[in-house]
Amino acid sequence: MNFKNKLENAVEENNSLLCIGLDPDTKLIGDKSLFDFNREIIDETHKLVCSYKPQIAYYSARGPKGLEELIKTVTYIKKNLKTIPVILDSKRADIGSTNEKYAQEAFEVIGADALTVNPYLGFDSLEPFFKREDKGIIILCKTSNPGSSALQDLKVDSEPVFIKVAKKVVVADKKYKNLLMVVGATYPDHLKKIRQVAKEMTFLIPGVGTQGGDLKKTLENGLMENGRGLIISASRSIIYAQDPKKSAKKLRDEINEFR
């Protein structure tokens, strides 16, 4: 089953657009291993989500042991929750031959269903990812961090760079049919413009929760007519909550109330 079908099944089964970021900080999780911390979150929330999204830096910073625990986490999800996809957040970007290896790392070694990538080197460099037809390739378009405007909002021939990227993604998706985009909830007005360009594409939406993104405006500007088309990602506001299940359900229900 390819990523997009798996995602749609999870959205339907759990009535959810919520993605939980599995970003365990060793300073905050005490004596637990990364895997044990993740497993508790997964066991409590798996009926409330459409996907999980580990950020690779939280694991690679621990060296080989951390990467081993990332692989254990992904394997655990794939074995026990066959309908819920895993998005590896690593924002990879390099020349094509190196991206071949990054694709191998993400999909064959770690076992992810989707991967975030950076378009800065040009779309020809991303083809090794695009050719993984059963995987989701999620391209950075408008990121959630405050400094993103320094490059992404620059005007080129009277259009901001993020719109240029969105248009290229739409064209590329006509060929590959496995592309998505990252658009931060901290920029809902930008999201509206991107939705006008990419009317039928699904967006991964970081920035809700701790980063203070506007959930209502994000849903208003980003949802497709069928009430889908967004993957709303939250990490710290859920995984470090006193009751992660309660926090996940609250956010899932807030999203669904608007849908």
Catalytic residue ranges: 91
Question: Measured between alpha carbons, how far is 223 from 173 in angstroms, rounded to an integer?
Answer: 19
Enclosing H/E stretch for 114 = strand 114-117
Q: What are phi and psi of 66, to 5 degrees?
A: -65, -45
Question: Measured between alpha carbons, how far is 163 from 69 in angstroms, rounded to an integer?
Answer: 37
Q: According to the 3-state scheme, what is the secondary structure of 48-77?
A: CCCEEEEECHHHHCCCHHHHHHHHHHHHHH
Question: Measured between alpha carbons, how far is 233 from 60 in angstroms, rounded to an integer?
Answer: 21
